[in-house]
Structure 1
Amino acid sequence: MEVDSDPERAGLEERQQANDNGEREHGPEPMEGTVSESTQHRNHPEHLKGEFTWEIPNFSQIEHKEYSDKFEAGGSTWRLLVFPHGNNTDHLSVFLAIPDAQDLPSDWTLYAAFRLHLFSSRGHEHDLVKDAQHHFSRREVDWGYNTFIPLSELHDPARGFLSSGSLTLRVQVWVNPTTNPYAESRADTGFVGLKNQGATCYMNSLLQTLYAINAFRRAVYHMPSEEGDGARGGEATGASSETGDKDEAEAIPAALQRVFWRLQFTDGPVGTKELTRSFGWDSSDAFQQHDVQELNRILCDRLEVRMKGTKVEGTIAQLFEGHTHNYIECLNVDCRSTRRESFQDLQLDVAGCRTVLDSFDRYCAPEILEGENQYVAEGHGLQDARKGVLFEDFPPVLQLQLKRFEYDYAKDAMVKLNTRYEFGDTLDLDSHGRRYLAPAASPAVRNLYRLLAVLVHSGGVHGGHYYAYVRPEGSQWLKFDDERVEKVEAHAAVEDNWGGGGAADGGGLDGSGFLAKSNARAPPLARLARHANAYMLVYVRASEWDSVLCSIRAQDIP
């Protein structure tokens, strides 16, 4: 069974216009969802569960869209909505909807999690399952996947989804009677979440990580703001948050400053629309996943520009910048070339490596230049040579990007590597006789690091969901999953994100087939481990832990 816990949400007014029945029909591709793994829901009474199976005959002959019969689940009435030819996309579109929305009170809301299950005639292991959750209201009466499965795959006989022209869908629903499931995040954890605009979960995980680096947050607060650009304005107060034609070097830092202020002082989830507008994105960009590493560099570059000439100038480099010693040395003549380069993050191989130190071994392993790849040595012509890289210094905050996505030449396609890859609470880069360090590296600096954050990708190469595990105060691990923030055990942040594990045959379900308890330490989590694994690690040098996670004083806050 193919399990995807990373839905694309539909139903937001920014993306789709409602018709007379309150359903959403047309518009660009809707949003990515906020579900991660089975660990997000707590125990719930039996009467709040329900399921419905819908067999649709002559599926391909449906011209536009089709509604299921109404059904009861979780004490509420629902129906399914499908677009056999796609809702302005080349994918099957599937949504869970509240019927007769016009009869509901204006303040009606309902929070529900649901699982969509597309059956294959080839057997259970070929089924497609996707999860979603949504806070339904009169404004947002349907939710689901605009791109549930490509039409080419749906109609591929080898996939077995259209048996004798019929398609069979099952939906399982769990209803949470809590009006606002995120209302207690501040009280429970001391932190609040970030709203997902569509496919901005990757950005949210990065922002929560940067926010937890207090020295970084304090520097952002100390950046000068133009009059009217104070952190309290914009989205949080209802004032205009448009950046207009303001230069990005000013717009991005000012918007980030406001996001950080709201994360620190507001009681509910914080919006990020002003920040994404400062990137120059329109609404459609918020529905496309971007590269986390690229976004991180854009943010830091703009902040460095804004910090110039201020008391926090140089903070980005002081926190995140390290230096490599790149060398080429000839094997048979006395000729050596060296170059010093700076870095703010490192990309480490996952393929063929079991641990982080294995990846550093590969990163620093010398390459022999010989044969057709000989080195052109000045004054000596073509020579056999050794080429490699060592580290002159590591930064206080070490950001490691794990290369989970690679091009598979045999498949002629990009693939995600879900293999087991171990990392720990500590990382000693002085190990093995300091073999990763260049001769010029200071022997007085102890390169022992503690883990601060684990950023996780759940899903496959064509899409997925991002969330982060962070321990902002250095002890209690928290899971930041868009709007949701919750306490977790250390194993949930570390070992459970090594990857590998058992088959993806419906893992993440409890015995009844519904989402499992959030703090369950049960086998289902292991079965989904291959789909959710770390793609970015953030370590802090142990000797500088207190200064990096320094206190934010009242005078630091704009």
Structure 2
Amino acid sequence: MEERLKREQEEKEHKKKEKAEAHLYTIIKVARDEDLAEQIGKDIYFDLVDHDKVKSFRIQKQMPFTVFKEEVAKEFGIPVQFQRFWLWAKRQNHAYRPNRPLTPVEEAQSVGQLREVSNKVHNAELRLFLEVELGADLRPVPPPEKTKDEILLFFKHYDPEKEELRYVGRLFVKANGKPGEILGKLKEMAGYAPEEEIELYEEIKFEPTVMCEHIDRKLTFRASQLEDGDIVCFQKAVPTEIAERYRYPNVPSFLGYVHNRQVVHFRSLERPKEDDFSLELSRLHTYDDVVERVARQLGLDDPSKIRLTSHNCYSQQPKPQPIKYRGVDHLSDM
């Protein structure tokens, strides 16, 4: 008992000290390719990474950034000369992307100074993307010089048969080059045969609605307004007669589905505290769509005989008034 009290006391002291010294430290969150590969298609579908799930370092603000790089080398096994860090930036359309590499001048600063340069938004933390280039033997090599004419693009691959989106890597492309020049590389990334036809889309934003547009292969990357940190999604070209077999035959339809899907729990009015069943619906479903799905689940012939009532999550009871028949446009209004 005494041991436990002592331990709790020590813990309290430690937390108190941490709080008192918080202003001396910065949290640095470092995202890597491995994080993108792990999260995209599982935890997230849009943008590139959830920063709350990447490695974070608590670093004294006074520490020179060059010393921090040594910490990173210890943690990830990537020697300092093979590390290149990018700052993230929030765009006007709310997308959050790697924006530019740190300059040598910035790398010569302290962690605290760098945090002030980097963001006005996430005041307490510095978010970075660690770029590591691998040679033919999969060992790190020094990052290639980045010129103004080069753009860093990130690639996601979509499989309409499996309804699966995954991160397959990133490439530097020439701003004045055309998509045709990288098709071979993309097919390799996805494990396709060289003769396979592929379609490219740019993932632009997802709030409040999804915007994902076809990329014209005849235009240069610059003419398509692609810039550092942009995301290109690609897939096999699906002939029209085969497309009908798939629920979401292309990237925009799949991203729209993911953005609007909603799992809804249904309870019988007599037993408002326990779930009867749940259905995956879309926020865009109409009143008729919703009751039709419920009828199918219950094995009823006439969906118009179903009455729905919204749930009060505070009292765990149904709301006093049921939803009027066709009284709302979409599931999101229910």
Scaled by the length of structure 1, the TM-score of the pair is 0.21
Higher helix residue share = 2
Q: Which has the higher contact order (CA 8 A, sep 6+)?
A: 1
TM-score normalised by length of structure 2: 0.30
